[in-house]
Structure formats: structure tokens, C-alpha cells
Chains A and B, each alone.
Chain A
Amino acid sequence: ELKVEQNPLFLSMQEGKNYTIYCNYSTTSDRLYWYRQDPGKSLESLFVLLSNGAVKQEGRLMASLDTKARLSTLHITAAVHDLSATYFCAVDIGNEKLTFGTGTRLTIIP
């Protein structure tokens, strides 16, 4: 059974700082997605990573995928308050469904 783990589960960081969220998964896959969820809201697609070594950037967020290590990272650069949210990675092992990670609740402190 595929397991997807994220760490940390909770992260408080100051504005302007950099940090990385990690997503580990247990079964070979070259398809990984990052989503953002604001409290009480839906899941917003951030990044689609479809090959080993894939790197995508949007604003202060950058995601990467290492399929050999079964690891994806979401790097936050110079955090600002409006990045506060819960971030989920989701893995696709080719059986159509997405298996979500545990989530990382990010709080940016002024």
C-alpha cells in the first residue's frame, strides 16, 4: 500500500525566511502534485511534476521531484503572510487515483 508522508506537519516561520517542506512516498512513481488548501476551502493545484528531476517555480514557491529517492520538496523563499495555508503533496502511481500526504500546516508570522 502506498504511503505518503510529509514533514514537518506544522511549520511556523517568520516573514522573509526560507524553508522546505518534504514529501516522501513508498512506491515508485514519477507523477507528483502539490496542492494548497486555505481553511475551510478547496484544494488548489500548485504544481504538476511528471518526471525525475522536474523543477517548477511559481513566485516564492519552487517544487522538485527526485523519483529515485521517492522525494519531493516544496521550497518557500522569503515567506510572506499570504502563503499561510496547508500544503499537500499527492502521488499518482498510475492507477488513476491520487494518494495524498498528511499535509503541512504553514503559518507565516510577521
Chain B
Amino acid sequence: EPEVTQTPSHQVTQMGQEVILRCVPISNHLYFYWYRQILGQKVEFLVSFYNNEISEKSEIFDDQFSVERPDGSNFTLKIRSTKLEDSAMYFCASRYRAGTEAFFGQGTRLTVV
């Protein structure tokens, strides 16, 4: 069964460092997303990506964040200069089109120290 895969599963980084979280969405899906979940809290939307551009972003997704789909299969989230409050589980998701269910990857736990 097709699935969304994310790497790494856990990343520890020092404050101020850049991190790149990687995702391989399901191959025929057209919409891609990043969400984050701070421990014990709800799932928060960061950004949606369609047709090779950002279609929507939340207020959390500031200038420190960027996304890219460099090669038609990978979908990455970059945080330029990490802060302590960026520590969270980051989930990548994809779906074929609006109105269909979104499938989530297993997540990357980011710990900023």
C-alpha cells in the first residue's frame, strides 16, 4: 500500500542551526502539506503546496521556513535558524485532490537544544 515516508524520524539540532526535513509523498498525489504537533497538543497547519507553489501558509510559517519540491518526488521543509519553540513533531501529508483524505507520514521529531 502506498505511503508517505519521512526522514529522519528524529533530529536533534542546536538552536540557530538550519534543518531540512524530508518527505516522499504518495506518487500520484497532487497536494502536499506540512503540519506540526507540539507534544500533547493539537495538529497545526503550516503550509500547503500545489502545482509547484505554496497555496496557503499559516502565521507560524514565517520567513524562517521554506518548502521545496526539488525533483518531482521529494518534498522538503527547511527551517533556517531553529528556535527552541520549533521543537515538535513535524508531519508531512499528501492527498490526490481536495475533498479526499490526506495521508500522513510517520513524522519527524525535531528537538532543538
Contact = CB atoms under 8 A, between A and B. Distances in A.
A and B held together in a complex: yes
Interface of A: 31, 33, 35, 41-45, 48, 50, 88, 90, 92, 94-103
A99 B102 CA distance: 12
B98 A43 contact: no
Contacts of A50: 99
- Among B44, B55, B98, B101, the most chain A Cβ lie within 10 Å of the Cβ of B101
Contacts of B33: 97-98
Interface in B61-111: 91, 93, 98-107
Contacts of B31: 96
A43 B104 contact: yes
Contact of A43 (B43, B55, B99): B43
B103 A45 contact: yes
Contact of A96 (B35, B55, B101, B107): B55
Given A42-B106, A43-B91, A97-B48, A48 B43 contact: no
A36 B48 CA distance: 22
28 contacts: A31-B99, A33-B101, A41-B107, A42-B105, A42-B106, A43-B91, A43-B93, A45-B102, A45-B104, A48-B101, A88-B43, A90-B102, A94-B98, A96-B31, A96-B48, A96-B55, A96-B56, A97-B48, A97-B56, A98-B45, A98-B93, A98-B102, A99-B45, A100-B42, A100-B43, A100-B45, A101-B42, A102-B42
